[in-house]
Structure 1
Amino acid sequence: MFTKTFAVAGLFAASLQLATAHPGEIHVPLPRAELQRRQLEATRRHNVARNCAPQIAEFNAKRKAKRNALASRKQFNGGRFAPRQDDTAATNTPTFPNIQNSTCVTAPEVTEGPYYVANELLRTDLREEQAGVDLILDIGVMDTTTCTPLSDALVEVWACNATGSYSGFTTAVLQIPDGSGPMQSTSMTDQFTWLRGGYATNSEGVVEFKTIYPGYYSGRTIHIHTMVHTNYNVATNGSIISHAGQVRHIGQIFFDEDLNDQVLAQSAYLNTTQTRTLNDEDSILAEENSNGYNAFAAAQLLGDDVSDGVLAYITMGVDTSFEGSITTTNYVTAAADSQSTPSAAA
């Protein structure tokens, strides 16, 4: 029987080759020495994060109490989503003001993939006019070096739409890898910005996005990309300056297959020519959920049916001594409507 609570979103970090992925997400196998180095580093991070278990449990207890009041939240309009917002500065109070104890550690980091676009908009409502099941994505960020919530950390998210397209690449031609080497980032075909953006965590280390539950494309299971920055900067036009500050985490969020099935039965997801890849067929997810990593968080329906929307929440354990890099040459050039420059979530 379909229940309202799921084991849902999982988090990321693989270095294995994915033979049938979207253009640019195919990786040739790394040398054994490099794989061993990354695994040792991942194990070290995981052991550090384990020390934070009591603090995470305390956050979880507080969020459980908040969860019981979910149905009365005004912004859900009686169980449904509030109107979509275009203002880049607009934000709402997170559903769970404290961090959940469903934690995923930054294991061996993945690259941002071929569909990351630098200088995305600073905003929490990413939906624009995209069709699909509304998704509230509630993300907590914990500094595993101190076991405390990481406030004012910029969290970026981006994902494909219900039919498997990314904004900025809606007419990109799929490429077939020949195995000769890693594929380059895909060139942008447009300046659409839907289902992309970022915002900073509040004083409790939490940020909440309103987006659309993603669809899928051939070779990859349903997922959402994430990136965490510290010491970030925002341009006067309301866009994120992606190369400023430090990149502390790059990864992907995954969803429980039972929930995926319910979402994909909705009309917006039916008109696709892509071939579905299940969770257990996705090598990136398999790597991220190995060696004791917890690659799952939780989710709830916002009403009696999945069409009313989904609330998913996850905590990311971030090692603030890690510093990643951005490789994309793609940038958002469309000016944001908002001219405000907030530096953190309310």
Structure 2
Amino acid sequence: MERKEFLRGLGLAGLGALTIPVIKACSSDDASSSSTSTTDTTQATNTGGSTNTSCSVTSSETAGPFPTKSPSSLVTANIVSDRTGVGFTINITIKNTNASCAVLAGAIVDIWHCDKDGYYSEYGGTSMQSADFTSAHFLRGRQTTNANGLVSFTSIFPGWYTSRATHIHVHIYNASGTSLLVTQIAFPEGSGSAVALVNASTANGYTKGLSGYTYNASDNVFSDSVANEMSTVTGSVAAGFILTHTINVAG
């Protein structure tokens, strides 16, 4: 792995309007953040929004140091496994720039992201990740786009880790299995965003808050390309959140 690629990695959705329950239910209001007091039913303010409206290929990114080792063995829409956290639906639409950005049916989409504590499955026990999850396969999955170019996953809202903003990794292949794009999905940030609300939810196990958090503008993966990697996130801690995102590939 090239040093630049390693450092970028280390710097380290139809369900439509359907909401999903919190994976780990809570009966009381979330803990207050340092600047605002939030409750479970507070609706997220989408301070970003998917802006990749032009018919150009979405930015490519490193797969990072923790890519899925055998993605073909993880064909599933529910990627929660034994992880707990705030409920999360991931809706991703794939479009083909070689066909005037018409939706791309039959594309294979792999996703993976960290748990609420910032840990990845299939890795660990090293200086890069102390917690050893080498035998676990949580928060990783593969789906094939439907006639609307859509894949949907049920998950939990990702946490974060040092030097990286909240994100999801995506690897897209054509129906024959040829790699088309490796990219990442960014999340809206700021007061009232899902990132802020979730990370204030100590009742659901998000205990780090945002102290030491790396924002998109300073993230060495997103800082130069966040515009066409930004998602839309709606919902609340109580009802769960829904991410909607479009990725353009040269299919």
Cα deviation for residue 294 of structure 1 reads 3.1
Indicate which of 131, 142, 145 corresponds to 2:84.
131
Instruction: Name 1:80's counterpart in structure 2.
Output: 21
3-state DSSP of counterpart to 2:238: helix
Aligned-CA RMSD value: 3.4
Instruction: Name 1:265's counterpart in structure 2.
Output: 200
Q: Which 5+ residue runs of structure 2 have no aligned equivalent?
A: 25-48
- Check 1:163–1:231 CA distance in 2 against 1; reply closer, same or farther (3 A cut): same
3-state DSSP of counterpart to 1:260: helix
- Check 1:149–1:306 CA distance in 2 against 1; reply closer, same or farther (3 A cut): same
Cα pair 2:171 2:183 within 8 Å, conserved:
yes
Cα pair 1:18 1:284 within 8 Å, conserved:
no
Instruction: Name 1:113's counterpart in structure 2.
Output: 64
Q: Aligned ranges for residues 161-240 of structure 1 at < 5 Å?
A: 161-174=115-128, 190-232=134-176
| Cα distance between partner residues in 1 of 2:188 and 2:211 | 20
Q: Which 5+ residue runs of structure 1 have no aligned equivalent?
A: 1-14, 27-62, 84-99, 176-185, 233-244, 321-346
Instruction: Name 1:299's counterpart in structure 2.
Output: 233
Q: Deviations over 1:276-305 (max 9, x none)?
A: 21222112111113xxx433232221xxx4
Q: What is the TM-score of this pair, normalised by structure 2?
A: 0.73
Percent of aligned pairs with the same residue?
23
- Check 1:308–1:171 CA distance in 2 against 1; reply closer, same or farther (3 A cut): farther
Q: Aligned ranges for residues 250-289 of structure 1 at < 5 Å?
A: 250-257=182-189, 258-267=193-202, 268-270=205-207, 275-289=212-226
3-state DSSP of counterpart to 2:233: strand
Cα pair 2:184 2:229 within 8 Å, conserved:
no
Cα pair 1:103 1:294 within 8 Å, conserved:
yes
| Cα distance between partner residues in 1 of 2:6 and 2:214 | 12
Q: What is the TM-score of this pair, normalised by structure 1?
A: 0.54
- Check 1:249–1:102 CA distance in 2 against 1; reply closer, same or farther (3 A cut): same
Cα deviation for residue 107 of structure 1 reads 4.7
Instruction: Name 2:52's counterpart in structure 1.
Output: 103
Q: How many residues align?
A: 214
Cα pair 1:217 1:274 within 8 Å, conserved:
no
Question: Higher helix proportion, which one?
Answer: 1
Q: Which amino acid counterpart does residue 127 of structure 2 have in structure 1?
A: V
Cα pair 1:297 1:314 within 8 Å, conserved:
yes
Q: Which amino acid counterpart does residue 103 of structure 1 have in structure 2?
A: N
3-state DSSP of counterpart to 2:222: helix
